[in-house]
Amino acid sequence: MSDPQHACARPAPLDLANLRLKSRTQREHKVAIAALGRPTEPGCSFSQWLAAMPDFLGAAQLRQVVAAIITARRAGRPVVFAFGGHLIKTGCAPLVIDLMQRGIITALATNGSGAIHDLELAETGATSEEVADTIRDGSFGMVRETCARMTAAAARGATGIGLGRALGELLNTPDVPYRDLSLFATAARLDIPATVHVAVGTDTVHVDPQLDGAALGAATLADFRLLCAVVADLGAATAGQPGGVWLNVGSAVVMPEVFLKAVSVARNLGHPLAGMHTANLDMLSHYRPVQNVLTRPVERGFGHALIGQHEILVPLLRQAIVEQLQAGAD
């Protein structure tokens, strides 16, 4: 119990008569009429609809990401699309392939999950299973064809070409009916870097008794070294010019960690990465993407967060890029 002799005296209410007030005209404002959203008419164009969006928070970030990507490509700088398996599972592969074919996305990087869903979609036209059901009888992930293809890709990739390129080449054959929907097959056809970054034990294909761990390690290590070269090229070509863009789409752990190490390698070898922009697109804000993608590697204001579902954000991003490129060409 406190000592009554040392108790604080009850204060008298402050007299507010002498508060210093200023005119509203002297204050800086964060919200102004010019940034308000505007209603659009039915049947308006996408460009009209996009221009009518409020210029705040997520919408402002979307515009900044689009501008960074277009500026980077016009300056000949790379745009790297790093992703997790959820991107494939939400139906966004054709949109990313379109941006690759247009020369907007210049490199791909993913974890093991992204590669698995890509190859299954290419071979079968379908992917993903209900884990809550199949884990109960031990059949989860026990898919013969998927294991065989990834094991073959690891063996081929260990020769020095890397896991991503090996997978792309294996999927670019007549016996793969939906190869046009494969990011890796497309990357191989376009001859652009596509890398797979494996954490051993995280992927269903690692249960394959035929899988050679040494081959898998060599193949994914080759991909990491290739990605380091891709990241090293993300800086501005000359001082004061724009840099490239790294997009992290739906990978909360593996790709942000891989990116951070690649950034450190690049700078250690004398590539300052000046002017590089980064963006994270995901339905939640996670620690590693915020720190390892948006904050630590870039200058203040060069990291952009877009929060939302991939099946909404990726089509929006792709259409905004295409529309603005067309407007610039007219």
pLDDT at 4: 63
State residue 41's pLDDT score.
Answer: 94
Q: Are 111 and 82 in contact (CB under 8 A)?
A: no
Tokens of 133: 């059901």
Cβ atoms of 181 and 97 within 8 Å: the answer is yes
Measured from the Cβ of residue 212, the count of other Cβ atoms closer than 10 Å reads 14
Order across the sheet with 194-197: list the strands: 194-197, 107-111, 79-83, 245-249, 277-282, 303-307
State the helix-helix crossing angle for 183-190 and 93-101, rounded to 10 degrees: 10
Q: Calculate the alpha carbon distances from 14 to 8, 9, 18, 22, 162 in Å.
A: 17, 15, 10, 20, 71
* Pairing, β 303-307 against β 107-111: unpaired
Extract the tokens encoding 210: 């035929």
Q: Record the tokens describing residue 302, joined without a space.
A: 């060069």
The residues, ordered by sequence, that sit 6+ positions from 319 with a Cβ below 8 Å of its Cβ are 46, 50
Handedness of CA 110, 111, 113, 119 (dihedral sign): positive
For 166-200, b where at least 16 C-beta lie within 10 A, e where not — what string?
bbbbbbbeeebebbebbbbbbbbbeebbbbbbbee
Q: What pTM was computed for the model?
A: 0.92
Strand 194-197 versus strand 79-83 pairing type: unpaired
The DSSP string of 163-202 is: HHHHHHHHHSSTT-TTGGG-HHHHHHHHT--EEEE--TTS
> What pLDDT is attached to residue 142?
84
Q: What is the mean pLDDT of each run of 10 residues along the chain (330 residues)?
A: 71 94 94 93 93 93 96 97 96 98 98 97 92 87 90 98 98 96 98 97 92 97 98 93 96 96 98 96 92 94 95 96 85
What pLDDT is attached to residue 313? 96
Distance (Å, whole) CA 244 – CA 251: 20
The pair of structure tokens assigned to 216 is: 């898998």
Chain centre distance of CA 209? 32
- Cβ-in-10-Å burial (0-12, 13-18, 19+) of 96 comes to buried
Closest among 247, 248, 251, 246 to 275, alpha carbons compared = 246
Q: Please count the helices (runs of H) and the strands (runs of E) in the chain.
A: 13, 6
Reading phi first (left if > 0) and then psi (alpha if -120 to 50, else beta), residue 130 is in: beta
Cβ-proximal residues to 22 (8 Å cutoff; 6+ apart), any chain: none
Please report where in the chains the tokens 């026990």 appear, as a residue. 142
Structural tokens at position 183: 């990011």
Tokens of 232: 């090293």
Domains (range + CATH), the chain: 55-329 (3.40.910.10)
Instruction: List phi, psi (to 5°) of 249.
Output: -120, 95
Mapping DSSP to helix (H, G, I), strand (E, B) and coil, where does residue 8 land? coil
Which of 197, 179, 39 has its CA nearest to residue 118? 179
